[in-house]
């Protein structure tokens, strides 16, 4: 959210230093710093508060040495991690970015599952927590949502060289060029293109690029149309 505030300040008032928020390196560094501050400075206070509220682990007495020492250990300490992720992200990221949106949805979805599990364990005194069936359904459902976003969203693009994009007959969304410098110091222009495709980068294979449609292509000529069968699972 701070990105939009400082963009406004720079445009309207030419605020000194506001332009720094345009650079992802500055915002990344600031987000890391804030995340550390939240986890290190406020983490202890959150744990103390959870102990005071008696939000802790219940241990069955099995007669094991040191077993009872674990009783009262806060089970919702993951709250610190959630704050360390969400607060810096909401403050320093551009919230119209599809990857940021996907990450936030994923984080909140898994937080809900974890909270439900801890709530059942702590307040309902059920050591089993949330049933495994619900956990699996929740995780599979989330995986399906993320896969559909990656497959269908027009904002999810892959960057290739313009030559690779044309030779591969990809759906080109945007073409652009970047001035680059060779080892001998000479400048040259490299053309790139953003394309819509189901390929992904995997090490240890030729070119580090894996095309999902190549598997479907073994069974049908119209591989691009049916690539989702492999991509989504």
Q: Supply the DSSP string of 3-60, one letter for each residue.
A: HHHHHHHHHHH--TTGGGGG-HHHHHHHHHHHHHHIIIIIHHHHHHHHHHTT-B----
Rounded Cα distance between 179 and 189, Å, is 5
Classify residue 64: in a domain, yes or no.
no
Work out the percent of the chain whose per-residue pLDDT is above 70: 83
Classify residue 122: in a domain, yes or no.
yes
Q: Is the domain of 132 the same as that of 215?
A: no
Q: Is the domain of 184 the same as that of 211?
A: no
Q: Which tokens is 190 given?
A: 């490299």
Which residues form the domain of 136?
113-156
In total, how many domains does the chain have?
4
pLDDT band at 204 (very low <50, low <70, confident <90, very high): confident
Strand, helix or coil for residue 190: strand
Q: Is the domain of 26 the same as that of 83?
A: yes
Question: 172 with 193: CB under 8 angstroms?
Answer: yes
Work out the percent of the chain whose per-residue pLDDT is above 90: 31
Q: Is the domain of 144 the same as that of 161?
A: no
Average of pLDDT values for 71-89? 79
Q: Is the domain of 35 the same as that of 81?
A: yes
The mean predicted confidence, pLDDT, of the chain is 82
First to last CA, the chain: 34
Classify residue 63: in a domain, yes or no.
no
pLDDT band at 93 (very low <50, low <70, confident <90, very high): very high
By the 10 Å C-beta count (0-12 exposed, 13-18 middle, 19+ buried), 216 is classed as buried
User: For position 32, what pLDDT does the model report?
Assistant: 95
Of 209 and 150, the one with more pLDDT: 150
Q: What are phi and psi of 129, to 5 degrees?
A: 70, -155
**pLDDT greater than 60 at residue 59:** no
**pLDDT greater than 70 at residue 96:** yes
Of 27 and 232, the one with more pLDDT: 27
pLDDT band at 137 (very low <50, low <70, confident <90, very high): very high
Question: 180 with 199: CB under 8 angstroms?
Answer: no
Beta-ladder partners of 193: 160, 175
Average of pLDDT values for 75-96? 88
Look at the pTM and tell me if it is higher than 0.85: no
Rounded Cα distance between 27 and 92, Å, is 6
């Amino acid at each position: 959210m701070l990105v939009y505030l400082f963009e406004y300040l720079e445009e309207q008032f030419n605020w000194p230093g506001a332009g720094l928020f345009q650079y992802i390196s500055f915002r990344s560094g600031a987000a890391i710093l804030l995340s550390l501050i939240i986890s290190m400075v406020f983490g202890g206070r959150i744990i103390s508060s959870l102990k005071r509220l008696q939000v802790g682990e219940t241990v069955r007495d099995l007669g094991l040495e040191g077993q009872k020492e674990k009783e009262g250990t806060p089970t919702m300490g993951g709250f610190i991690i959630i704050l360390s992720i969400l607060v810096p992200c909401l403050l320093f990221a551009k919230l119209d970015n599809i990857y940021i949106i996907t990450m936030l949805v994923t984080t909140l979805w898994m937080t809900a599952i974890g909270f439900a599990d801890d709530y059942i364990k702590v307040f309902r005194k059920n050591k089993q927590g949330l049933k495994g069936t619900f956990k699996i359904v929740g995780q599979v459902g989330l995986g399906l949502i993320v896969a559909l976003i990656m497959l269908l969203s027009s904002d999810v693009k892959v960057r290739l060289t313009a030559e690779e994009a044309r030779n591969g007959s990809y759906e080109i969304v945007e073409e652009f060029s970047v001035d680059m410098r060779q080892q001998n110091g000479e400048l040259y222009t490299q053309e790139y293109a953003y394309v819509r495709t189901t390929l992904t980068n995997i090490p240890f294979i030729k070119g580090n690029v894996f095309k999902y449609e190549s598997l479907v292509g073994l069974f049908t000529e119209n591989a691009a149309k049916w690539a989702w069968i492999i991509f989504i699972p």
